[in-house]
Amino acid sequence: MDYLSDLNEPQREAVLYTEGPLMIIAGAGSGKTKVLTTRIAHLMKTGVDAFNILALTFTNKAAREMKERIEKILGSNEARNLYIGTFHSVFARILRSEASHLGFPNNFTIYDTDDSKSLIKTIVREQNLDEKTYKPNYVLNRISAAKNSLIGWEQYAQDFHARNDDQHANRPMIYKLYEIYVKRCFKNGAMDFDDLLFNMHKLLTSFPEVLHKYQHKFKYILIDEYQDTNPAQYSIIKLLGAVFENICVVGDDAQSIYSFRGATIQNILQFEKDYDDVKVVKLEQNYRSTKSILKVANEVIANNKLQIQKVLWTDNTPGEKIIMMRTMSDNDEGRFVADTIAEQKLRNHYHEKEFAILYRTNAQSRSFEENLRRKNIPYRIYGGLSFYQRKEIKDMVAYLRVIVNYRDEEALRRIINYPVRGIGKTSLEKAAVIANQHNITLWQVLEQAAMFGFHAGTLHAIQGFVIMIKSFQIMLEKQNAYEVAFRVGKETGIIKDLFNDKSTEGVARYENIQELLNSIKGYTETPDEEGELTDKSLGSYLQQITLLTDADQGDEDSDVVRLMTIHAAKGLEFPCVFVVGLEETLFPNAMSVNDREDLEEERRLFYVAVTRAKTKLWLTYANMRYRFGNLVQNDPSRFLDEIPKEYIEESFIGRSAAQPNYSSAWDRPYMQERNTQTKSAVSGISAANQTAVKTTIDHTPSVGFSPDDPSAFETGMEVEHQKFGFGKILKLEGNPGNRIATIFFQKAGEKKIMLNYARLQIVKKEIG
């Protein structure tokens, strides 16, 4: 068994333990993918049929990598028979086979987020509700949260807490919108992403014969990134694994960062209570990062109370100290990062693709983009507009969707008058009203348009459109996805319409359509995600592109600097990483600082960011940053305080050496000069004058320190701050809900503080 030879002892233990429930706690960079793939290969080597193994991941990329590794170990194509894929892709595959049980067509459409929002917008308008109050994004989030908690529209309508929350939010009709949305999706023969989980659970709980079938089919179940599962995924796994209980979950509670998507860390924390005789294996050897980087990660995450105890270690080199860079402004921060990348490329011969800039929110990318462009450094932003979200691509794909499923009303609305064919908005709304009145689909109204009194010109256009779509549908029976798509592009006039637009944008859109056709052509000539060589249908292609995740898009080999949120970076690694914007109320964000569970998730997010780095790590923050149009002064993130000083080399950039010094990051640096000097500093200092400086503020808060209400402060009051010590309020400005105080501190000097975040206590003692 040569495939076991390069495993360490815990990895080998996890691979060889094949019967019964197993939890593998896999620390960052500990080789979890290697263990998962080797375990699957070992099961097959020892006689387990590939058809009896189910492996669920969160990205198609992870599933693809696992299959490739398994095939290398087995030296054959046996892995093609494995059910390996994302939760959504595997469940979509099962739901298509079993759709009739739920009353759906097996060619049901999968709505993406834009489709769902568009449908909700239509429903809100039909119900004569205020579109500003019932914003599609808000309504969809409420519906999504309910589905991920397995709460259907009927239960939602009876749920006191849900209805009460909606009432307090001045949105009491959410329950009704949920009901109409579900019924409209059913009528359209469509499921959204959350339905792929919700309906899979419904299928298993409502039809015992289906549950029995898949329980005995999937005798061995493996779940990757188990800490990211939500209640629906958890329940489905429990149902499928109830007979044999050969369930292997792999995850890291320290990387549980998706609660906003409905994921719950409790799934992994309580796994041992869910099954008897659970085997727990901890993978604590890190193969990715230097010892310095790993020590920083361990020290910070140790502050979380809610965790499974483990300590990552490595045989890698000690590496360099982590650079902690304080800048005067966010623009200085962007300049420092771009200059450092240019310097590292020159000095250490790094490629652009070996750098990643990680931030808490997408809005932070601006200063980095501007400065990378200034240095002519190519970059790519992850999480921006994906190829399949571009208008011309969605237009073309909408045609393909209608051909596969004529009940798909959202796609039908998009294309019925594109390119322009004389079916205006008024005619479309008339058709929609007729469809609702007669409880039939929009397509059925178009098919029977002669019965419903449309004007002659409009009727002629509708009938021509229907004939065209039906001719495409006939092609589906004999031709593959590419041949159908090419004909659609040509005969609808889309390609001609875009070709005739010779503007820069028009040329780009035309090239995008050609790239889409190239993509479909490639799809018809290569195996799909399940290894199937036979199904090259248009419906199969549409499912594949609809279920793509952010991590599956883009060219990994392109030589560009990666800019992304830390959430998007999970699962990736880079030689050089910049974690930027490490300031209180930004990272951790303001919404999390008053709740321990939320704060611990922010700390896990920081842990994820740090452990993306292999060789070099920079942690940066800005003294001042524009937020909501105002220049505000920032406290450094509390996570920086949690890093022992011996692991850090701290620097400051953005002021001349002749100007007053600052304190170190652990003691909360602040300005020691008046506003005129501050404005001078923000305007920028040349690289020749940049310097690293330190001083120390040593203040221990008074016994029983308790911050006072921000509204209680007045000019002339003497106050105490936890970090800056004692000071006196010189001036108050701003509106009552967002006041800014100018305070002179004995040790930190004069500075401006937003009182909502200041943590100040009023004191009686005189300032000496």
- Residues known to be catalytic: 32-33, 224-225, 255, 612
324 in helix, strand or coil?
Answer: strand
Q: d(Cα 490, Cα 428) in Å, to the nearest integer?
A: 24
134 closest CA partner among 185, 184, 195, 178: 178
Contact in structure between 224 and 58 (CB atoms under 8 Å): yes
Q: d(Cα 28, Cα 71) in Å, to the nearest integer?
A: 25
Structure tokens at 141: 């989030």
Q: d(Cα 389, Cα 386) in Å, to the nearest integer?
A: 5
User: Which residue stretches of 218-290 are H helix?
Assistant: 231-240, 266-269, 271-274
Omega before 710 within 30 of 0, i.e. cis: no
User: Which residue stretches of 563-695 are H helix?
Assistant: 566-569, 596-610, 638-641, 675-682
Q: d(Cα 399, Cα 223) in Å, to the nearest integer?
A: 36
Structure tokens at 162: 């849900």
From residue 251, give the alpha-carbon distance in Å to each of 117, 119, 486, 611. Answer: 32, 36, 44, 15
In single-letter form, the type of residue at position 442 comes to L
Rounded to a whole number, what is the largest CA-CA distance in the chain?
91
* Distant-in-sequence, close-in-space partners of 72: CB < 8 Å, separation ≥ 6: none
For residue 597, how many other CB atoms are within 10 A of its CB? 12
Q: d(Cα 749, Cα 762) in Å, to the nearest integer?
A: 18
Structure tokens at 419: 């390119």
Contact in structure between 664 and 698 (CB atoms under 8 Å): no
Burial category of 292 from C-beta neighbours within 10 Å (exposed 0-12, middle 13-18, buried 19 and up): buried
714 closest CA partner among 733, 729, 736: 729
Helices (H) and strands (E) in the chain — how many of each?
A: 30, 21
Query: 348-382: string of b/e by CB count within 10 Å (b at 16+)?
Result: eebebbbbbbbbbeeebbebbeebbeeeebebebb
Sign of the alpha-carbon dihedral angle for 640, 641, 642, 644: positive
For residue 475, how many other CB atoms are within 10 A of its CB? 15
Q: d(Cα 519, Cα 507) in Å, to the nearest integer?
A: 18
Contact in structure between 495 and 476 (CB atoms under 8 Å): no
Contact in structure between 292 and 319 (CB atoms under 8 Å): yes
Angle between helices 174-187 and 160-168 (to 10 degrees): 110
Q: d(Cα 697, Cα 746) in Å, to the nearest integer?
A: 10
Q: d(Cα 712, Cα 568) in Å, to the nearest integer?
A: 41
* Distant-in-sequence, close-in-space partners of 251: CB < 8 Å, separation ≥ 6: 24, 25, 26, 223, 224, 225, 226, 227, 228, 268
* Distant-in-sequence, close-in-space partners of 287: CB < 8 Å, separation ≥ 6: 29, 30, 31, 314, 316
From residue 512, give the alpha-carbon distance in Å to each of 412, 536, 705. Answer: 22, 22, 61
Q: What is the 3-state secondary structure (H, E, C) of 89-140?
A: HHHHHHHHHHHHHHCCCCCCEEECHHHHHHHHHHHHHHCCCCCCCCCHHHHH
In single-letter form, the type of residue at position 642 comes to E
